[in-house]
Structure 1
Amino acid sequence: MIARLKASIAAATLVPALIACGDAEPAAPPPLTQAALDAVSNDAGAPKDQLARQVDELFTTEGLGETRAVLLMADGKIAAERYADGYDADTRFISWSMAKTVTAVLVGMLVADGLLNEEAPAPIPDWQRSGDPRADITLEHLLQMRSGLRHTEAGDPPYESSEVRMLFLDGRDNMAKWAKEQPLEDEPGARFEYSSNTTVILADIAARALTDSDDPDTRRKAVADYLQERLFGPLGMTSMVPEFDASGTLIGGSLMHASARDYAKFGEFLRSGGQAPSGEQLVPSGWVAKMLKPSPASEHYGYQIWLNRPEPDLEWSHPLFPDRAPQSLFSLIGHMGQYVLVSPDQKLTLVRLGHSTSEERPPMLKEAADVLALYPAE
C-alpha cells in the first residue's frame, strides 16, 4: 500500500514537468551581431532591433541562397544597408532582367519627346511589308510582353532557349535582328509571354528613334548619351553601366550594372511618379501610371515591370507576394534573385541582390516580405 502511494506521488510530481516540456517556448534567437545592428539607421521608421533581425535573416538563414546586398529606403531615406563579405557600396551588381524596366522608361521618354507612339504599330520596316501579320504588333504589345512572337525564354537544354540563342549563340552579334526575324505563334495582344528578346526589340526601336545611322558606335553613343543626360545623370546614378551588342543595340533586357544605391535611386524615382530628387519630372507621371497598369493579358505585369496583383491563371508560382503586401507594390526582378521592391503605400524601396536558385527564391521572398511588414501601409 505504502509502495503504491509513493509511486502515485512520484507520478504526480512528473505531470507539471511534462506539461512544461510540452509548452516550452521556442529557443530565443541568437543575439544580433554588431554588424547587423550597425546596418540599420537610428531613425529607420521601424524598431531597430526588429529591422536588424529581419535584414540579418536575409543574409544568414539557410536555404535562401547568397544575399550579397540589401538596401532599404524608407520615406526617402536609407533605413538599412548591408553587404556580404567581398561587396560594398561601390560594387556594381548585374541587373539581369531588372534592365527591362530601365528600357521601358527609355521608351517612355521618347514617347514624351514625340519620337514614338505606344499605340501605333511597332516601327519595324520588315513587319510592315504587305501580308506580314506582324504589322499588327503595337509598341504597347511589346511593352506588355504580348507581341505573339515565337519565343521560349527557358529551354531544355538551355541552348535551345530563344534568350540563350540571342545573347550567346547565333543572335549575339545583332540581337535585335535575330529577335525581329521570329515569326508569330499567337495573335498579337492575345497572350502574355515573358521575353528578353522582346525588350531588345524595344531597345533597337529606341536607338532608331534617336539616330538614322546603322554604325554601331553611333547607335551606342546616341542611346548612352540620352540615358546619361535624361535619366542617370539627374538621378545621380553614377555607377550605371549599360551594355551593348556588336551592332550597337542596348542589351536592354538583361545587361546593365549598378550599385545597390543606384538601383534604390531608380526604385525611388518610380515611386515618386518619375521625378528626380530635385523635383524635375524626367518622364511623365502618366507614363509611370501606364507602366504600373495591369496588362489585358496579365494582371501581374505592366510595361516591363512586375505587379503585386493576384493572377489566377499562372502556370508557375507568383513572382511576388500579393497575400503579404499592398497590391500597389511593384518590382524590378532579375535572374537568380535580383529585386527592387517598391511599395508606394508604405513609402518603401527594398533592394535585394544576390544569387538564389528557383527553389531558394520563394523562402527568400518571404524574408523580404517580413522586412516590408514592419512598416504600416497608408
Structure 2
Amino acid sequence: MGFLRIIAVILLGVVLVAYAGLKYSVVGQRMLPTGAGITAKQLCSLVFVAEIEEARAKAMYLDPLLEQFPIPVNVETDYSEGSVTANVPGFVRQKAQHRAGYGCTLVHDPKAGLQSAPGAKPLSPEMPLDVVHRDAVFDSNKLEAALDEAFAQSPTRSLPRNTLVVAVLHDGKLVAERYADGITPTTRLPGWSMTKSVTATIAGILVQQGRLDVSRAGALKEWRGTGAPQEDITVDHLLRMTSGLLMTERNNGRDPNSQMLFIEPDGAHYSATRELHQPVGSYYEYMSGSTVLAMRALQEAIGGDLATALAFIQENLFAPLGMTHAVMEPDQSGTFIGSSFMLASARDWARFGQLYIDGGRAGGAQIIPGNWIDYVTTHTEQSGANGYGASFWIITDAQREKDETLAALPEDTFSARGFQGQYTHIIPSEGLVVVRLGATNDYWIDDPELLPLQVIQAMRAEPQTDGESSADSQD
C-alpha cells in the first residue's frame, strides 16, 4: 500500500471514529437534534407567521445561536407546503410545519395528521396613533429621543442590537411607535418567555369564570391519586417556578428544557414525568417546563381538544383585547407551548399589557379578577432578588438599592420578558405600557428599564389642554 493511501486510510479512520464518538455522545444525541429543532421551528415561525424574509430571519435570530454548533445545519424551506426542514448531515433531520391558526409545530411523527384551525376570527380595527394626546401629555422631542436610543447601535457591541419595534401606550392611547425596515404594525414577532405572562393571564380568566383553583393540589390529572410527591403540585407552584421538578433550563442544547421544546413530541408529558429534586414549594428555579405544565392544566380545565382550547383563548382573551394578530403555537401532542411560543404584533403586546392597567376589564367585561394584578405581582419569596411573581417580573427592594434606574421607576412597575430582548413594561400608576421587541442576541448588555424610565421622563409636568396642541389624530 502506497504512503498516500496509508495516510488516506488513517484519516478516514479518524473521521469515522470522530463521527461515531459524536453521534453517540450527549452532544450527538441531544445537542444536534435540539439545534436542528430550534432551526426548523423558529425559522418556520419567522418565515410563515412573522413573514420575515428567510435570509434576514436566519441572520438575525438563528445564526448567532448556532455559532458554536459543532456541525453546520442545512435548511430546506418548502414554500408551497409551508414547512422548514433542518438537516444535520448524517445525524438528524427536524421538520416544522405551518398550520393556519396554530403557527408552526415540530413534526416528530409524520403520521400525526396535524390539522389547521377551524375558521378565522375577524380582525378588529387597528389602533391609531393619537398625536393630540401625545402632545398634550408628552414632550414629543424627548419621547422621540427615547425611541432613538432604543434603536441605537452602541459602538461597544459586538453583535447587532436589532431593535425591531417600540410601542408606547398611555391611558390606552398609542402615543409612540417605531419600526425597523420591513417590520410593520401587523408583523407578528416572537415573544419567547413573554408567553409565560399570557399563560398566567389565561389562568386568571379561568379563575374569574370559576373553572380553576390555582391552589388545588394535583394540578394535572396524571398526578392525582398516584400518591407521588408530584400530587402536591398546584398551578400556583407552576406559575411561580416552585414545583421542584428537575427541569433545569440552561438553553445549551443539552439541558432538559431544550429537549422538551425541540425533541419531545409531548413536552408536558416529558416535564410531568421528571423527578423532583427539591420539595414541592420550597425552591425557585426558572424552568419553562413548569409553564408548559401550567398550560396543560389550563387546557384540562378548558376541556376538549386543541381546537376547543384555541377557541377559548381567542374568545376570552384575544378578541376582547383586540389582539388581532396573536398566534399561540402547540407541540405535536396538542398542548400550547405556553412558556415560549407565541408571536404577536407590538400593538397586540401593548393591548395585553393594557389589560392590567384597566384592572382586568376589556370589552366592557371583567375578564380576569380585579385583584389578579396583585396575584401576578406578588413576589415569589423563594426567587429572592430575582424578583419573580406569578409569571411576571417585578422589581424588588434589593434590586432598587443596587440600580439607580430601577430605583427611579414607580413601585408598581412590572413586566413580561422574553429571550433575545422582548419586553412589555406595565406601569399602572402612570397609565403606561411600553413594548420593545427585537432579535438582540446579547440582550443582557442592555438596561431594559431605561426605556420606560425615559418615557416617564418625557411626560410633561403639566399636561397641555387640547387647545394648546395643534396636531390632529392620525392613523
TM band (smaller chain): 0.7 to 0.9
Judged with a 3 Å threshold, the aligned counterparts in structure 2 of structure 1 residues 310 and 192 are, in CA distance, closer, same or farther, namely farther
Aligned to 2:380: 295
1:280 aligned residue (328, 353, 365): 365
CA displacement, residues 189-228 of structure 1 (integer Å, 9 cap, x when unaligned): 11211111111101111111122x5xxxxx2111100011
The CA distance in 2 between the partners of 1:193 and 1:121, in whole Å, is: 20
Contact kept? 2:346, 2:437, Cα under 8 Å: yes
Q: In the alignment, residue 159 of structure 1 is paired with which amino acid?
A: G
Q: 1:154-303 residue pairs with structure 2 within 5 A?
A: 154-155=250-251, 158-169=252-263, 171=264, 173-211=265-303, 219-276=305-362, 278-298=363-383, 300-303=387-390
Q: In the alignment, residue 289 of structure 2 is paired with which amino acid?
A: N
| 2:428 is aligned with 1:344 | yes
Q: In the alignment, residue 257 of structure 1 is paired with which amino acid?
A: L
Share of identical aligned residues, percent? 34
Report SS of the residue matched to 2:210. coil
User: Could you tell me how far 1:364 is from its partner in structure 2?
Assistant: 5.1
Contact kept? 1:110, 1:116, Cα under 8 Å: yes
1:52 aligned residue (125, 144, 164): 144
Query: When the two structures are superposed, what TM-score results if normalisation uses the length of structure 2?
Result: 0.64
CA displacement, residues 40-97 of structure 1 (integer Å, 9 cap, x when unaligned): 9353222111111111111124248111000011122111011011101111111111
2:176 aligned residue (73, 77, 80): 80
Structure 2 unaligned segments of length 5 or more: list them. 1-128, 462-475
The CA distance in 2 between the partners of 1:360 and 1:370, in whole Å, is: 19
Contact kept? 1:122, 1:138, Cα under 8 Å: yes
Contact kept? 2:163, 2:439, Cα under 8 Å: yes
CA displacement, residues 121-149 of structure 1 (integer Å, 9 cap, x when unaligned): 03324433454112222221111111111
Report SS of the residue matched to 1:43. helix
The CA distance in 1 between the partners of 2:297 and 2:405, in whole Å, is: 33
Aligned length: 324
CA displacement, residues 288-321 of structure 1 (integer Å, 9 cap, x when unaligned): 3211211232361211111122346xxxx99x95
User: Could you tell me how far 1:230 is from its partner in structure 2?
Assistant: 0.8
The CA distance in 1 between the partners of 2:343 and 2:310, in whole Å, is: 13
RMSD: 2.4
The CA distance in 1 between the partners of 2:324 and 2:367, in whole Å, is: 17
Aligned to 2:249: 153
Aligned to 1:326: 410
Contact kept? 2:194, 2:340, Cα under 8 Å: yes
The CA distance in 2 between the partners of 1:49 and 1:80, in whole Å, is: 11
Judged with a 3 Å threshold, the aligned counterparts in structure 2 of structure 1 residues 185 and 369 are, in CA distance, closer, same or farther, namely same
Aligned to 2:230: 134
Report SS of the residue matched to 2:433. strand
Query: When the two structures are superposed, what TM-score results if normalisation uses the length of structure 1?
Result: 0.80
Contact kept? 1:108, 1:287, Cα under 8 Å: yes
| 2:438 is aligned with 1:354 | yes
Contact kept? 1:58, 1:364, Cα under 8 Å: no
The CA distance in 2 between the partners of 1:57 and 1:76, in whole Å, is: 24
Aligned to 1:374: 458
The CA distance in 2 between the partners of 1:262 and 1:112, in whole Å, is: 22
Aligned to 1:12: none
The CA distance in 1 between the partners of 2:369 and 2:249, in whole Å, is: 31
CA displacement, residues 236-294 of structure 1 (integer Å, 9 cap, x when unaligned): 11111111111110111111111111110000011212111x33111111223211211
Judged with a 3 Å threshold, the aligned counterparts in structure 2 of structure 1 residues 376 and 186 are, in CA distance, closer, same or farther, namely farther
Contact kept? 2:138, 2:460, Cα under 8 Å: no
Judged with a 3 Å threshold, the aligned counterparts in structure 2 of structure 1 residues 282 and 367 are, in CA distance, closer, same or farther, namely closer
Q: In the alignment, residue 224 of structure 1 is paired with which amino acid?
A: L
CA displacement, residues 355-376 of structure 1 (integer Å, 9 cap, x when unaligned): 2234554345434432333348
The CA distance in 1 between the partners of 2:300 and 2:247, in whole Å, is: 23
Q: 1:4-23 residue pairs with structure 2 within 5 A?
A: none
Q: In the alignment, residue 108 of structure 1 is paired with which amino acid?
A: G
Q: In the alignment, residue 289 of structure 1 is paired with which amino acid?
A: D
Q: In the alignment, residue 224 of structure 2 is paired with which amino acid?
A: Q
Q: In the alignment, residue 375 of structure 2 is paired with which amino acid?
A: K
Report SS of the residue matched to 1:96. coil
Judged with a 3 Å threshold, the aligned counterparts in structure 2 of structure 1 residues 180 and 231 are, in CA distance, closer, same or farther, namely same
Aligned to 1:41: 131
The CA distance in 1 between the partners of 2:457 and 2:243, in whole Å, is: 36
